[in-house]
Amino acid sequence: MTTATVRLTGDALLEHVRQYKDATKTEQCLTAGYVRDNGSPAYVDFYTELLNASPIVSDPNKAAADDAEYDALDDDKRELYDEVHDRFGEKWAHDEILQFIDELDDIGIENVSQLEDNYIYCSDEYRAEREFAEYWVCEVMCEPPSDVIAAAVDWQAVWDHNLSYDINTIEFDGETYFFWNR
């Protein structure tokens, strides 16, 4: 990681933090150019600028528009919005929650009851379908294969040939969500 020669601000800083999300806060601070004369991180300046760059803090008009959009939702959508926020999206902005609700709508989930009935699992693994297949067989179906057999099982094939027809997935914000296809 290289240190920026100029302190990043605004969208450039937000993108930098997203790009280095797995780095330590010290590394994020230093590589964004927030370095004191003695070489130590300038945390206060870094976090102040990060807050100023945040769309939630920097644009009160957007917050008011988001509130108005939320208030305009019908009762079912508002309840679904609240459930999605509580269950999955506390880290998501208003627009992301609405986008996720649109994804749910595409697979036939339009209210909280349908969400509760159909939600199965969430994974942030690179091969989420494969992980889900192993989870489903070993944990839910309670049919764990022996260690020798488990090492030979092609979990992706289990997903492809046995599970994918009954289950919908939504890939969103780096995670894969699994729902019954009803």
The pLDDT score that the predictor gives to residue 123 is 93
The pLDDT score that the predictor gives to residue 139 is 86
Cα 83 from Cα 2, distance rounded (Å): 41
The pLDDT score that the predictor gives to residue 115 is 96
In this prediction, what percent of the chain has a pLDDT beyond 90?
A: 46
The pLDDT score that the predictor gives to residue 92 is 86
Tokens 């269950």 belong to residue: 87
Q: Pick from 13, 18, 6: which is nearest to 173 by CA?
A: 18
Cα 90 from Cα 111, distance rounded (Å): 18
The pLDDT score that the predictor gives to residue 2 is 64
The pLDDT score that the predictor gives to residue 23 is 85
* Alpha carbon of residue 83 to chain centroid: 15
Write the Ramachandran bin of 126: left for phi over 0, alpha for psi from -120 to 50, otherwise beta: alpha
The pLDDT score that the predictor gives to residue 55 is 65
Domain boundaries, the chain: 10-58, 60-180
- Name residues of the chain where pLDDT drops below 50: 58
The pLDDT score that the predictor gives to residue 102 is 95
pLDDT digits (tens, 9 = 90+) for 158-167: 999 999 999 9
